[in-house]
Structure formats: C-alpha cells, structure tokens
Amino acid sequence: MKTQLIIPVMICLFLNAKATETEKTVKTKPEKVIVYKNGAQIFRQTQTNLVAGENKLVFEWLEEGVSANSIQVGGNGNFIITETEYTDRLPDLDKFKNAADFKYVKLIKQLKDSLTLIDYKTEEINYKKEVLNTEKTVLLGYRLFKGEAKKDSLSFLKDGINYLQEKLSAIYADLHILKKEAEQLSLIKQNIQKRMNGIKDDLGEENLSSVYKTNHQITISVLSDVATMASINVNYFVNTAGWEPMYDLRTEGVESLVRLTYKGIVYQHTNVDWNGVKLILSTGTPQCNLSAPELYAWYLDAIKPNYYHEKYKTLSKSAPAQGYGGLSDNSSATRGAAFEQKEEKDMEAENAYNYVTTNDQQVQATFEIKLPYNIASDNKKHTVAVLQKDLDTKYLYKTVPKVDVTAYLMAHVTGWEDLNLLPGKASIFYAGTYVGQTYINPATTNDTLDLTLGKDDNVVVKRIKQKDKTKEKFLNDDKIYSFAYEITMKNGNTKSIEIEVKDQMPITHGKEVVITKDNIGNAAYEESTGILTWRQTIKAKDSKHINFAYTIKAPKDVPVAVR
C-alpha cells in the first residue's frame, strides 16, 4: 500500500519539477548597431512569457565574431537573470541530407577548394611577373644602355647590347608564358564558377548556406517566482564589421563657400543582414586591455637591464552595461518623424544628413543616424550620410613661376576643427567637376586646410631673366655674378584676384660666398630657405610686374654653381 502511494507522489514531483524549468528558443534581429572603426556592438531585444521557476532563453543564429567577454544582458520584469552562456553549435550535416542532395553539397565544397587553389596560383603568377618587370626596368635603366657610358668603351657597349638582347628576350618569353598560364587559369575559374552557379540554382542557395552555417547562440538563465511577461535585451561586440570616413569637398566658384560632406563607409561580414537598424557610428575603438599604462622601477647593472613590474590587472567582468559605447539604448525613439508630410509642393528634397545627431564625448564622438539603415552582410562598402557643413573659405591664386608658370586656384578652409573628423581621403569638386583627391588628417593638419582646385588658364604668368642686368665680372680677387628677374602676371578674369607668388634666392652656409639682396621689393623673405613671397591683388583684365635682383660674390678660384 505504501508503495502504491509513493509512486504517484514521485510522478507528481517530477512533473512539477519539469513545469518549473523550461528552455525556449527566441528569434530576434539586430535593432541597434554601434559601429566602431574596427568592430561593432549589436543590440537585440525580445518579449517573451516566463513560467514560474527556471527559464532558459536561447538567442540563436547570431553574428560571426561575437566576443564572449563582451556579452551584456538586461531586461524589465519580475525575474532574476542568473547565468549567461555563449556557445557555437556546429551544423548537423545529417540533418540537411534531406533538405539538399548531399552529393552535390560535397561537390560544391570541392569546387570551392579548387577556386582557392586557382587564386593562390594566380597570385604566384603575378609575383613572378612583378619580378620579371622589375628586372627589365633595372636593365633598361643601366647607364650603359641609356647612352651615358664613356665614348671609348665601344667594345664594352657591343657586349652589353648583346647581353641586353639576350636577357630581354628571356624576360619577354617568360612573361608570355605567364600570360598564357593566367589566361588558362581564368578560363578554368569561369567554368568552375558556372558549374557552381548551376548546382546552386538546382538545390537552392538557402539550403546550401544552412549546411555550412554555424549557429552562434547566447543562452540566458532566468528565475521567476510566477509566470509573467518579460522584456529581455542583450548586446555584444563583434569584430567582423567597421567603418571608415570619406569626405567630399565641393565649391561652385570663388564666391561660394566650400561644403564639406562627411560620409561613413560601413562594411560588415557577420553573416547576418542588418535590416532597418538604428545605426550609430562611433569614432572610438574598443580596447582589449583598458588598463592605463604605468612605469615601474628600472634596475640597471653592468650586464643587462632588468624590468620588475606587477601583472596588469584584468578588466572586471562586471563592467557597466554600456562599456563599448557609453550610450543609453533609446530604441523607443520613433522614426516616423523623419517622414512627416510637408505642405509646400515644390520643397527641395531633404538630405539624409539632416537626420544625424552628433554626441561629442571626452573619449569619442558618436553620430546617431535617425533614419533606419539596411547594411547587408556582403563585406561591401555601404555609404552612410553623417553630416554636411559650409566652411569658412578664402580663395587665393598661387604660382611658383621658377618651377611652373601655371596659376593654381587655392581654397583656404577653416572651421572644420570641431566636426570630430577622422583621418581619411577627400574628393575635391569645383563647379561640378571632379578635381582630384587630398587627405585630411586632423592630427597633423593646421587650422587652415589648403585645397588645390585646379589651374586657371585665364591667369597668365611669365618669368623672364633681364639680360641687361644679369652680368658676370671680376673685382680684385673676387668674381661677381649679378642676376635680375621680372615676373609678369595678367588677370584675364572678369573679377579681381589675389595671387601669391613665390621665388627664391640662393643661400649659403660658408663665409667665402656672399649673397646680397639687391632688390626684393615688398616680398617677405625667409632667411632659412631664401624663399621670397609676394601677395598681389590684380584687377580684372589688368596686369602687374614683380622685379627682384641679387648678387653672388665669391673668390675667383672657388667654383660656384650658379644658375
């Protein structure tokens, strides 16, 4: 009788224990992403029902490159988060044999391996071609073959030409063979790619990708006294994403300001597409070791120095919830305000730059994009609008007629210092025409950013040596050289211009050679370089002249290289 009573009680206890412990898989998508220069922080959230007792919530199919140490979990509700675990669940190939023809899946893997080998072989061919081309350049640049050898070395020249002919013939023959090999590899690669595409079309890309995809999971253990609704959020750092800055500098002419367009070039290959995410670009870079550096005693004896120091303290796992960005999760902010209807029918189209908020912090700056963005996991560069600003601009022509008589239009730009710029390339556009590229580096660039906008053929510059004032004569034991130049500038534009003209006088470190400034007009003279700088304003259709002269005196038995 006792045995009959015990068995039902044990069954009830077992069933009750099972009722108080459950594991549930939750499917989420990235809602907010903070992208750093190297890496990104992903934010996910779910609403779920909890049972009384212990609950295990599994966030599955997460991104590649999750840093397990960076996982942070939070939520709202009457429950306690007891444990967090990160696991990589490898694909079960047997499970997918029914979903796709496994024979072809293995074939595709073999084809992919063949493509990898072809790429290695192609790279090896390119290296060989580079070596041969370098050898050819060295041969052709040899003084003997450039006609710079001595006149009495005719026999040596003949032998050298024979050697050159022999070596060049061998080089061109090897290059021809490498070219044929590269073409054959390219043809083989195209055929393999076509075969792979055909198999993928038959089996379906979704089935094939799922075979090799690892299921990255975060399991969260939650304890609740009663059955309740809970909001769980999780965020973590991945190293398979990042961004870099890119700039456009545009001006429509000398009467307009230079407009700086700040763009973020975002890439990611996490194997998870970011669709409709709240995107934030950060100028910071998360560090693996956040301990500030310290100095310790340095003991030096007669043999070698020895360093004694304590072990660095590791970063505590109980770091604040926003350790990678310092930002609060404001995912409840509405996006609809970005698309409010306007009453004006002919209103100019708005730009995405109008929907960016900049937060300037002590360590880093962040650009919060208010519009939802889609960033595919294709490792391609996706352009994100950050900001636009018109910068204070002063236009000036510049010419160095001793080197080049061309007049270049320059834009001296200020007012960019507070824009939290990162080092990056900048494309320059003038009057709708692409001019070229420059590089912005806030760490080294002065307060003024100088942009070359191109040549202006309407400004004609000439530099003429005045022969009647350029002389050479002897005085006692000295030889005196006199030089005089005239620089003429003509402004063919319909408006006045300001132009900066640079020239130079020779300088010397010794006392035997004496250089005298005879006439430099109102030029600014730099003693250390001998550079002369003039600033002139020339009215429309007008011209101006600059004259300067100098004298070189040296002992007549001391050779001086004068020009």
pLDDT band at residue 219 under the 50/70/90 scheme: very high
| Confidence (pLDDT) at 335 | 37
Per-residue model confidence as pLDDT tens digits over 309-354 = 443 333 333 333 333 333 334 433 333 333 344 444 444 445 555 5
Q: Quote the pLDDT of residue 198.
A: 77
Q: What is the pLDDT of residues 507-541, one digit of tens each?
A: 988 788 899 999 998 999 999 899 999 999 999 99
**pLDDT for res 261:** 92
Picking from 121-125, 212-216, 326-330, 442-446, which range would have the lowest pLDDT averaged per residue?
A: 326-330
- The per-residue pLDDT for 349 is 44
What mean pLDDT value characterizes the chain? 79
Tell me the average pLDDT across 103-121.
79
How many other C-beta atoms can be found within 10 angstroms of the C-beta atom of residue 95?
10
Specify which residues 306 forms β-bridges with: 299
Predicted confidence (pLDDT) at residue 448 exceeds the cutoff of 60:
yes
Residue count of the chain, please give it.
Answer: 563
The lowest-confidence range among 22-36, 204-218, 341-355 is 341-355
The answer to whether residues 249 and 421 touch, using CB atoms and an 8 Å cutoff, is no
> Whose CA is closest to 461, among 535, 522, 407?
407
Segment 152-161, tens digit of pLDDT: 456 666 777 7
Residue 505 — very low, low, confident or very high, per pLDDT cuts 50/70/90?
Answer: very high
Specify the pLDDT at position 208.
53
Paired residues of 424 in beta bridges:
440
For the chain, the farthest-separated pair of C-alpha atoms sits apart, in whole angstroms, at 141
Which pLDDT does position 262 carry in this prediction?
Answer: 92
Report d(CA 11, CA 60) in Å as an integer. 33
Interatomic CA distance for residues 42 and 274, integer angstroms:
10
Predicted local distance difference test score (pLDDT) of residue 150: 53
pLDDT at 273 over 70: yes
Residue 19 confidence (pLDDT) above 60: no
From residue 159, alpha-carbon distances to 148, 166, 170 in Å are 16, 11, 17
pLDDT digits (tens, 9 = 90+) for 340-396: 444 444 444 455 555 555 555 444 688 888 889 999 998 899 999 888 999 999 999
The Cα-based distances of 419 to 308, 357, 387, 422 in angstroms read 43, 12, 9, 9
266 — alpha (psi -120 to 50), left (phi > 0) or beta? beta
299 or 375, greater pLDDT:
375
d(CA 423, CA 246): 9
Closest CA to 101 of 202, 169, 176: 202
Q: Identify the CATH class of 459-555.
A: mainly beta
Report domain extents, the chain: 96-212, 459-555
pLDDT at 171 over 80: yes
Has residue 243 got a pLDDT over 70?
Answer: yes
Cα 49 to Cα 69: distance, rounded to the nearest angstrom = 27
* Listed range (263-272, 306-315, 394-403) with the worst mean pLDDT: 306-315
Averaged pLDDT for residues 410-421 = 83
Say which residue, 230 or 166, is predicted with more confidence.
230
228-251/424-430 β-pairing? parallel
> What is the spatial distance between Cα 215 and Cα 217, in angstroms, rounded to a whole number?
6
Task: Give the DSSP per-residue string, 151-187.
Answer: TT-HHHHHHHHHHHHHHHHHHHHHHHHHHHHHHHHHH
Instruction: Determine the residue type at 204.
Output: G
Choice between 7 and 409, residue whose per-residue pLDDT is larger: 409
Q: What is the pLDDT of residue 397?
A: 95
Would you place residue 102 in the very low, low, confident or very high pLDDT band (cuts 50, 70, 90)?
low
Q: Which residues contact 352 (CB under 8 A, 6 or more apart)?
A: 369, 371, 385
Per the listing, tokens 């069933």 go with 15
Average pLDDT of the segment spanning 196-203:
71
**Is residue 46 within 8 Å of residue 29, measured between CB atoms?**
no
Q: Using the predicted structure, report yes or no on whether residue 276 has a pLDDT greater than 80.
A: yes
Calculate what percentage of the chain has a pLDDT beyond 90. Answer: 38
> Is residue 16 scored above 60 in pLDDT?
no
Tokens 């003024």, residue?
448
Is pLDDT at 127 greater than 90 in this prediction?
Answer: no
